[in-house]
Amino acid sequence: MNIIIANWKANPTTLDEAMELFDFYLAEISKYQNIQLIICPPFVFLEELSKKLKARNQKSEAISLGAQDIFWEKSGPYTGETSTDMLKNFSVTHALIGHSDRRYKIGETDEVINKKIKAAFEAGIVPVLLVGEQNHGDDRKQILEAQLDADLAGLTAEQISKVLIAYEPVWAISTVLGAQPDTPESSLEAMRIIDNFLTNTRNLTPEAYLYGGSVNANNVADFLQHPKISGAVIGGASLRKDEFGKILKIVSNL
């Protein structure tokens, strides 16, 4: 089953808009049985969206809520943070960890990312780890290996096998000036780098990865048709109803 993660980032700005978008998602996903849709709204909307999801009273596993970030302590003197215990109230199943917005705009370190992955496991939340180089032409192998080594430090092979790893080159994110999606071939090459690294250092080879970076209705099939790519992290296009509706339809037909 393909996984589609909708990363709303800091959008939309009102609860009404968030509810409307979510209603649309609920209606669309009910048409398909073969997509796991994970919606990651801003924290402030999680409560209402989770109520809505529960009220549907459908034992549907096809749609769930994710957090765009988590904090590693359960409670305490951490101004501005939202803990996993709090998120669990809203049936959060997944958490994005290490998104490049947080790595490069907010200064989140690999050490922090590592703590967050461990906290996610402790809370029973599936961590979605995003890795990728910042500029086209950067030493991708060196960067990916350094990120993985530090982000996954101290985790067991069993835990690592449960992390959803997303290759998301920062230069390919739609809001970056002049962004272009990576090619499927090039992203598969990045995934081979990850495969080799994890096989050599942790003795495990993930079955598949997610891709993120300017995914839209025109290119989603090019990525997801490869068995090694089992899903996508979608930012901008997940806020555009028509586009996102098309993406779901295309993915359901793969």
Q: Clarify whether 207 is annotated catalytic.
A: no
Are the C-beta atoms of 226 and 188 separated by less than 8 Å? yes
Q: Clarify whether 99 is annotated catalytic.
A: yes
| Residue 60 or 174 with smaller CB distance to ligand PGA | 174
Q: Select the residue interacting with ligand PGA from 213, 220, 230, 244 (CB under 6 A).
A: 213
Closest contact distance (angstroms) between CB of 151 and ligand PGA is 16
Q: Select the residue interacting with ligand PGA from 2, 7, 50, 114 (CB under 6 A).
A: 7
| Residue 66 or 213 with smaller CB distance to ligand PGA | 213
Closest contact distance (angstroms) between CB of 81 and ligand PGA is 21
Are the C-beta atoms of 34 and 66 separated by less than 8 Å? no
Exposure of 130 in the CB half-sphere (CA atoms within 13 A): 30
- The catalytic residue among 108, 133, 145, 168 is 168
Closest contact distance (angstroms) between CB of 153 and ligand PGA is 24
| Residue 117 or 237 with smaller CB distance to ligand PGA | 237
Residue 2 and residue 147: Cα distance in Å, rounded? 25
| Residue 86 or 173 with smaller CB distance to ligand PGA | 173
Residue nearest to ligand PGA (CB): 235
Q: Select the residue interacting with ligand PGA from 2, 36, 84, 214 (CB under 6 A).
A: 214
Phi-psi region of 152 (alpha: psi -120 to 50; beta: other; left: phi over 0): alpha
Task: Please work out the total of residues on this chain that contact ligand PGA, with binding judged by CB under 6 A.
Answer: 14
Q: Which of residues 129-188 bind ligand PGA (CB under 6 A)?
A: 168, 173-175
Q: Select the residue interacting with ligand PGA from 37, 215, 220, 248 (CB under 6 A).
A: 215
Residue 189 and residue 191: Cα distance in Å, rounded? 5
- The catalytic residue among 28, 94, 99, 133 is 99
Phi-psi region of 124 (alpha: psi -120 to 50; beta: other; left: phi over 0): left
| Residue 78 or 104 with smaller CB distance to ligand PGA | 104
- Identify the CA nearest to 99 among candidates 177, 158, 146, 151: 151
Residue 155 and residue 118: Cα distance in Å, rounded? 8
Closest contact distance (angstroms) between CB of 79 and ligand PGA is 26
Q: Which of residues 226-245 bind ligand PGA (CB under 6 A)?
A: 233-237
Chain residues in the site for ligand PGA (CB under 6 A)? 7, 168, 173-175, 212-215, 233-237
Return the active site residues.
Answer: 99, 168
